[in-house]
């Protein structure tokens, strides 16, 4: 569904991504992991069409992403950034309805009972009915991120790109958000690609992991194949123990304390 071929991306003299080759099949849930500055968010920007590579090609369903018009691409692909939505004064229901832009006519309208049923279903699923008329800027970070997810759901995409969507959320809301995404992915057969900061969450919710380091792909595979002490130390420069999650066996990371005298200057 997504094919990345020989992608390079630079900003001036700074090379961010180098010869990236990668394929995502329909219905897969990929997590992109790696240390800060490894090119994760840049790769998401290229996949979304917001930025263009210096070299190489990206295709969606066999068609170059650059060939899609704005509305056509928006019907196929949606993006949720780590800060979700700006704290604007629009009420929650109206913000979520903005996700219907790809389906609106030239007057910015969509007169459809089906669309209204879709909106009602999203409000129910995300438990936002009590907040429907509240302005976005008075909501908590967790509530705003749910509204941001609702706006993306209203877009009815085939592919969802997430850029560290749980960064500003506490533990409860991180798990709640990922459960909502995973549930939507299963029900709709979505293809999801998410930059993940928390490796344990990535192992719990992603079927496949792509590891970036210094702008290059250094590993890809299932969480069981990727989450191991040797790779974690090589890529993140930390020592760890890996244990199996007691519920389903997913690998989980336990950091080891650095002993005195081993800290970098």
Q: Where are the domains of the chain?
A: 2-255
The whole-angstrom separation of Cα 78 and Cα 162 is: 9
State whether residue 82 is helix, strand or coil: coil
> Helices marked H in the chain — which ranges?
40-48, 70-76, 92-97, 113-125, 141-154, 171-188, 199-205, 223-226, 229-236
Q: What are phi and psi of 76, to 5 degrees?
A: -100, -30
Do β-strands 29-33 and 191-195 pair in parallel, antiparallel, or remain unpaired? parallel
Count CB neighbours of 185 within 10 A.
18
Angle at 51 between CA 49 and CA 56, to 5 degrees: 85
- According to CATH, the topology of domain 2-255 is Rossmann fold (3.40.50)
Question: Residue-wise pLDDT tens for the chain (265 aa)?
Answer: 999 999 999 999 999 999 999 999 999 999 999 999 999 999 999 999 999 999 999 999 999 998 998 888 998 999 998 776 877 889 999 999 989 888 876 555 666 788 889 999 999 999 999 999 999 999 988 888 899 999 999 999 999 999 998 888 899 889 999 999 999 999 999 999 999 999 999 999 999 999 999 999 999 999 999 999 999 999 999 999 999 999 999 999 999 987 655 555 4
Taking the model in full, what pTM does it have?
0.91
Pick the closest to residue 84 from 16, 136, 26 (CA basis).
136
């Amino acid at each position: 569904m997504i094919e990345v071929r020989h992608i390079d991306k630079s900003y001036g003299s700074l090379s961010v991504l180098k010869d990236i080759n990668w394929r995502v099949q329909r219905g897969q849930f990929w997590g992109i992991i790696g240390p800060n500055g490894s090119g994760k968010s840049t790769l998401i920007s290229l996949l979304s069409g917001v930025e263009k590579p210096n070299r190489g090609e990206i295709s969606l369903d066999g068609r170059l992403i650059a060939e899609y018009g704005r509305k056509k691409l928006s019907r196929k692909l949606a993006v949720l950034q780590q800060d979700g939505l700006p704290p604007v004064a629009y009420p929650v229901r109206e913000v979520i309805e903005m996700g219907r832009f790809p389906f609106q006519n030239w007057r910015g309208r969509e007169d459809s009972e089906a669309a209204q049923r879709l909106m009602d279903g999203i409000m129910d699923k995300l438990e936002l009915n009590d907040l429907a008329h509240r302005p976005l800027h008075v909501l908590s970070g967790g509530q705003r991120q749910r509204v941001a997810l609702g706006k993306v759901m209203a877009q009815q995409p085939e592919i969802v790109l997430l850029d560290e969507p749980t960064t500003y959320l506490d533990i409860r809301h991180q798990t709640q958000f990922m459960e909502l995404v995973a549930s939507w992915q299963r029900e709709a057969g979505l293809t999801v690609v998410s930059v993940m900061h928390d490796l344990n969450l990535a192992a719990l919710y992603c079927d496949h992991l792509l590891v970036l380091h210094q702008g290059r792909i250094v590993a890809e595979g299932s969480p069981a194949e990727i989450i191991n002490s040797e790779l974690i130390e090589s890529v993140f420069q930390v020592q760890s123990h890996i244990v199996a999650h007691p519920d389903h066996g997913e690998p989980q990371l336990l950091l080891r304390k650095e002993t005195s005298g081993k800290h970098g200057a």
